[in-house]
Amino acid sequence: MGGVAVGSATAALTIVQAWGLSLALGEIFETHTLGVLSVVVPTLIAAFAGKAVLAWLNQWLAQRASAAVKSRLRRDVLAARLADPVRPEPSTASLVTLLTQGLDALDGYYSRYLPQLVLAVTVPLIIGVAILTADFTSAFIVAATLPLIPVFMALVGWTTEARTRKRWRVQTRLAGHFADLVAGLPTLQVFGRARAQAEGLRRSEAAHRRETMATLRVSFLSALILELLASLSVAIVAVAIGFRVVFHELDLTTAFFVLILAPEVYLPVRQVGVHYHDAADGMAAAESAFAIIEGAEARTDGAAGRPAPVTSSTVESIEPSSPGRPDARPSRAPLPQQPDEPPALLRVTGLTVRYPGSDVPVLEDIDLEVRTGELTVITGTTGVGKTTLLHALMGFVTTEAGSFRLDGTETDAAARRARIAWVAQSPGMVNGSIADNVRLGAPEATDDDVRRCLRLAGGAGLDPGRGVGDDGEGLSAGERRRVAVARAVLRVTRGDADLLVLDEPTAGLDAATESALLDALSGLDVSIVSVSHRPAVIARADRVVRLG
């Protein structure tokens, strides 16, 4: 509504401006006196000042709208990404490009293109009515030629849209290539392949340059076409008015009035095409943002209400006859509880997970039981779905069927995560110190708490004040796992979690460190679910679940 009001007021002031100029010119030519200027000049000054204020107000409204939309889109994209954190696409580099440079391009859409689109509707309509009241013939010519500009603008716009989308894909690919190259540079340097990657980077850069120049060529050519159409249309009006003035069919004041207003009818429509190129990058980025948001919603909605497949479980549980000896006969999980066994803390029933676009489920009709204070180890061949099972437990992936019960009560993902301390296969790290990363488990933890948890996680030799770069830069794979385990242990020891979920916690650790970590975990008196291939971890398990 604000844009329509500003556009209408702008059109009204344009008419006042044209009236003042035409009246002054007509009077001067007819009477050869300047007396009319005493009235016209203040009117023109007021009209120019009013249009300047309206232009500022239009930009202010547009910038506010742009900031609000960009903020909302960024929140929605991050919420969609957090709802599906293990989704491989888009990559981190692509996501950063989208949320920064990509969505910033929406300024062109909201500050230039959208306000101009409103002006293109209101200004020609109001000024066209003013021309119609002054001269029907000129109004007819304007009405006949004005639609040509949107027609050619649409043809140019389709070409620009295709070019811009292609350039956005190339730009995203270049950003991802560069980020992956920087992340893998130490490995490439070790194997002597760092210089060889320069050629690939040059090719990506050249492709980005070609697409950018092609988009600019289309932009310049479209501006030329639109200017040519508008100029020819105004010329037709001017020629018709000139002949009619010569033959005394039109007075001079009306002729000046129509001639001044005629370009103002075409200008807003022509500027829409010009500013469309400013908005094209932003719209391409917005489409990518909506694809992420709608994709997350579709995965959530699509999983609801599906019937569970009627198939047999592929899980076998092995109940050790004694601690550290998984030599009993396998049977279908979960097994009946024996009188001397601890109660079940977590029970998973009929779990089925299918990734989008796949006809075959990763996990199908899986049952799992975790008892209080026990170490349950999930093992199996690579790719069988062990990590997916943990992701389903954490609520990182959408389940097609199945239920999760904690202490006998069915819970959602948020309620489960509130009681779980999680260590991923590739733990996330933030820029700061080791202590900062450990305190993510409990921000109010003291320095003594941090040191104690590092010691329990096998990281007694790690200095809590040691710096950590983005994504754990400066830490080895084993050190990252020890910091992540310490973070989870901190959460457990402070009573914020009673279930520890670990994905390959001892990978990258030597035998002595692994044994010390397992000893520390066993002394926590907490239920543990761990994915592992390591014989030492499996030997310590109270319960082993093999996926096959």
| Residues 42, 48, 51, 56, CA torsion sign | negative
Mean pLDDT, the chain, integer: 80
| Lowest mean pLDDT segment, chosen from 308-317, 331-340, 386-395, 397-406 | 308-317
Q: Residue 330: what pLDDT? A: 34
Checking if the pLDDT of 116 tops 90, the result is: no
CB 519, CB 355: distance < 8 Å: no
Checking if the pLDDT of 49 tops 90, the result is: yes
Q: What is the pLDDT of residues 502-539, one digit of tens each?
A: 998 888 778 888 888 888 888 888 899 999 988 999 99
CB 369, CB 350: distance < 8 Å: no
**Any residues with CB less than 8 A from the CB of 311 and at least 6 apart, and which?**
364, 365
Query: What is d(CA 20, CA 427) in angstroms, rounded to the nearest whole number?
Result: 72
Could you write out the three-class secondary structure of 269-297?
HHHHHHHHHHHHHHHHHHHHHHHHHHHHH
Residue 455, judged by CB atoms within 10 A of its CB (0-12, 13-18, 19+), counts as middle
Structure tokens at 62: 């547009």
SS3 of 546, please? strand
Checking if the pLDDT of 167 tops 90, the result is: no
CB 63, CB 106: distance < 8 Å: no
Is the pTM value of this prediction over 0.85?
A: no
Checking if the pLDDT of 308 tops 50, the result is: no
SS3 of 156, please? helix
Query: What is d(CA 169, CA 159) in angstroms, rounded to the nearest whole number?
Result: 16
Nearest to 155 by CA among 231, 101, 229, 212: 229
